[in-house]
Chains A and B, each alone.
Chain A
Amino acid sequence: MTDDRIVPVTMPKWGLSMRLGKITDWVVAEGDEVQAGDDLADIETDKIAGTLESADAGTVRRIVARAGEDVPVSGTIALLAPPGVSDDDLDAAVAQARAVIDAGVPDEAAEPIVETAEIGGRKIRYAGAGQDGDVVLLIHGYGGDRNSWLFLQEPLAAGRRVYALDLPGHGTSTKDVGDGSVDLLADAVVGVLDAIGASGGAVHLVGHSLGGAVAAAVAARDPRRIRSLTLIAPAGFGAEINADYLRGFAEAQTRRELKPIVAELFADESLVTRQLVDDLLAYKRLDGVATALRALLGTLVGADGSTQRIDSAAAIAALGDVVPVTVIWGSADRVIPPAQAESVPGATRRLIDGAGHMPHMERAAQVQAAIEEAIARAR
């Protein structure tokens, strides 16, 4: 029996297809004291590199996985424990954890199931995590896709069904976006909600940026269906927007052109890995994407070429007090200014220090906590 004061630090599941992560570097050493949210280790997968933040406070008593080592998802990589826990107990826990790491990835690990809904003649793809409970639907922003939520979807899925979709024009959904309007995107989201059988209420919407405006529009159509609305750096709450970023993203043709543009999304530009840029380029090069991005650019940016065209005020007003609204914003957002959080009436506001326009990627643990709170506040 291991001492239940021992808290394992496990390999996170970043994205539904992740099975294995490699610890590239330990930020902490044995003996260090950590607080919740402190960086523990740099981890990379075949898709992305990120930093694992501690979910708990405590003392790092044992590092289980060495730097450079591949660890299956949920494998224990370190142990936190108060000083009173004995070395023998810790060593026993290490041995148990090493056995899991050395066994490697189980063969039967299931591929995530990506589902397709036919909505308005378009194929909309979405994938879910979790078995039962309330439905959480995650809606990405301009140029993103359901993998934007890779740090959040699995962690949010304890006791819930968490879905992420690819909006029209994005990811693996049909690239045609018609007029590119928020309404058209909202139709797709409603269609997905119908497809997953979430018609009876108990739906929590989380939308980022353009996806925030879409989430607000969906909620406004039928507020009783929605139990909570979380907006991360949403569009539609002010005139100011970094139109150069949006245009640059739409127009970039090469890695060299795209990399500095993508850097504007993050407070910490080192997060812009070659893989991230390559994945975005691969998306941008799919037939139809250029047209879709141009159409959506017209939705986001007004005729003057510099200010926002979307206004979500009416949508929020339509919610009345039926749906609790939470707004999350990175303090270092260079795409839409965080001050616009003040323009969301009646919302609970969470400003994430040190995050840019992608707080759910840069400060996933804090964003997760904010979403959990929002869900908890729901009627």
Chain B
Amino acid sequence: MGDAIVGIVANPLSGRDIRRLVTQASVFPTAEKANMIQRMLTALAAVDVHRVLLSTDLGGISAAVLRALRRRQAMGQAGSVSSPDRWPEVEFLDGQPIRQTAQDTVEAVRRMVTAGARVIVCLGGDGTARVAAGAVGDVPLLALSTGTNNVFPAVREATTAGLAAGLVATGAVQASEVTTRAKLLEARVGDRTETALVDVAVCTERHVASRAVWDPATLTQLFCAFAEPDAIGLSAILGQLSPVSRGEPDGVTARLEAGGTHRVLAPIGPGLVATVGVRDIEPMRPGPAYPVDTAAGVLAVDGERELTFELGDQPTVRLRADGPWCVNITAVMDASARLGLLRRPPAASPSTQHDPRESTA
């Protein structure tokens, strides 16, 4: 059990883009991200994960967790009556320069993989999950949403997610039984590439600017790895017209145009329900590179403007089958129930009631 390592990476900048201003998107404060990690640590300890690797950041998440750790230490030494639950040993992945860009997430995930993490938990939105996915390799990824503006990461309580991550990390549940491989979209402009887990949109804005795509009038083309009818975001457009599940091999693509043959009402962002014109809906096969037919603009991956392209760049988008292995929390907890993993012996009597783990410690 000593090598049951879980990596947790959290993005301090997620959840504060321009959509808070233009569409009343939710705000997810740093303090709440740190609280999620702390709840997760409690759950991980409960299922015998002894070591956690935690990314460091300048946004205050890791600092808040560190403060909490020190507080717990002090309380433990003081023999406080409300002595806190055990936590795993937490190792902060410091020593690397923090650049306050997506590269920080990539570096942290790579170090977790190298250090032998059995599961990597990623806290953030679609953008953070996308970056983490590019670095996890075959290590199972549990993407947890901070905020509501996301398709790919799960909106789940961190305590439950922590239990699921711990059960996979310790091998109590076989990773192969509870993980599925996600599809990927690869956007390419010349020698620059970006991957997306959900969608790639072609946008006529000239500049990356505030990154988030929030103005549907700027979109000309959409590529989706999957398109669920209950999604939030751009994939919801095709989710209502030509749904594609996460498990199917194909994706779906279409052109967006006010005068398109289809018109559909879709929640293309939090607080943003727009009527979008669509034409030329067709399946997207894994493998071939699909051309972008806009002359100049920006490719937005999972809702964020990332790759600018100019006249003559001829960008392409390709669907790949080799995305990250994603932990299905529901499947893990179903397996746990089936296997009785969280069952404990009945209490002998009120006077001798104690945590069974303490007698074996």
Touching chains A and B, CB distance < 8 Å: no
Chain B interfacial positions (CB closer than 8 Å to A): none
Chain A interfacial positions (CB closer than 8 Å to B): none
